[in-house]
């Protein structure tokens, strides 16, 4: 399959953007890239380390640089993004924005019941304290919905169903 425009997957930490993107890319034979991965290879260190050593503002600046590069250089690709990537100033120019949506409780439970729960929590500095993560979720959920071209509710759906809905809704 060939995508007419990029698809940008957005949504809260731990909702499964990476997992969904990898399944979609495999099913439809398209390229997929991840903004956190791009940043980690550019910096040659993990997101967690970047937060510890240089702080969140520095990381957000790297996200903007990544968005600028995508805008100028990436086509026909599924892009999964970090949970705060939606803040870049050119998001709508990067492609169709697809929000993966679920309640905070569902997301928290998905992380806690995953095989590598500790690893998932460890690599996400902003998910360290569930109370603070919930606050962040409440702040962001309205914004996510307002910037999305397409909203896909993921609760209770198989990965297969989710990727088919994305394909249908984006005319991919």
| Residues whose CB falls within 8 Å of the CB of residue 15, separated by 6 or more in sequence, listed in order | 100, 101, 102, 107, 110, 154
- C-alpha 48 chain-centroid distance: 16
Residue count, binding to ligand S3P (CB under 6 A): 11
Query: Closest CB to ligand S3P among 136 and 150?
Result: 136
Tell me if 82 contacts ligand S3P by CB under 6 A.
yes
Task: Tell me whether residue 13 or residue 166 sits nearer to ligand S3P (CB atom).
Answer: 13
61: nearest Cα among 91, 88, 42: 88
Q: How far is the CB of 4 from ligand S3P (least distance, A)?
A: 26
Nearer to ligand S3P, 126 or 167 (CB): 126
Residue 83 binds ligand S3P, judged by CB under 6 A: yes
Report the nearest approach of ligand S3P to the CB of residue 83 (Å): 2
- Site mask, ligand S3P, residues 103-122, x = CB under 6 A? --------------------
Taking the complex as a whole, how short is the minimal distance between the CB of residue 2 and ligand S3P, in angstroms? 26
Q: Residues 25, 126, 151, 159: which binds ligand S3P (CB under 6 A)?
A: 126
At 90, list the tokens. Answer: 């050119």
First to last CA, the chain: 8
Please report the sign of the dihedral spanned by the C-alpha atoms of residue 143, residue 117, residue 61, residue 34: negative
Q: Where are the beta strands (DSSP E) in the chain?
A: 7-10, 31-34, 77-80, 96-101, 150-153
Among 12-20, 89-97, 98-106, 162-170, the segment contacting ligand S3P (CB under 6 A)? 12-20
């Amino acid at each position: 399959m060939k995508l007419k425009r990029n698809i940008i997957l957005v949504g809260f930490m731990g909702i499964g953007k990476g997992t969904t993107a990898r399944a979609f890319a495999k099913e439809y034979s398209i390229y997929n890239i991840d903004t956190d991965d791009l940043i980690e290879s550019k910096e040659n260190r993990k997101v967690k380390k970047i937060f510890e050593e240089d702080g969140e503002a520095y990381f957000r600046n790297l996200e903007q640089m990544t968005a600028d590069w995508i805008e100028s250089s990436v086509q026909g690709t599924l892009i999964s993004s970090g949970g705060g990537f939606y803040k870049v100033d050119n998001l709508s120019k990067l492609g169709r924005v697809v929000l993966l949506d679920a309640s905070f409780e569902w997301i928290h439970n998905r992380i806690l019941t995953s095989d590598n729960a500790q690893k998932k929590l460890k690599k996400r500095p902003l998910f360290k304290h569930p109370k603070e993560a919930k606050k962040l979720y409440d702040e962001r959920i309205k914004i996510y919905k307002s910037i999305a071209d397409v909203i896909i509710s993921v609760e209770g759906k198989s990965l297969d169903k989710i990727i088919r809905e994305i394909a249908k809704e984006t005319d991919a």
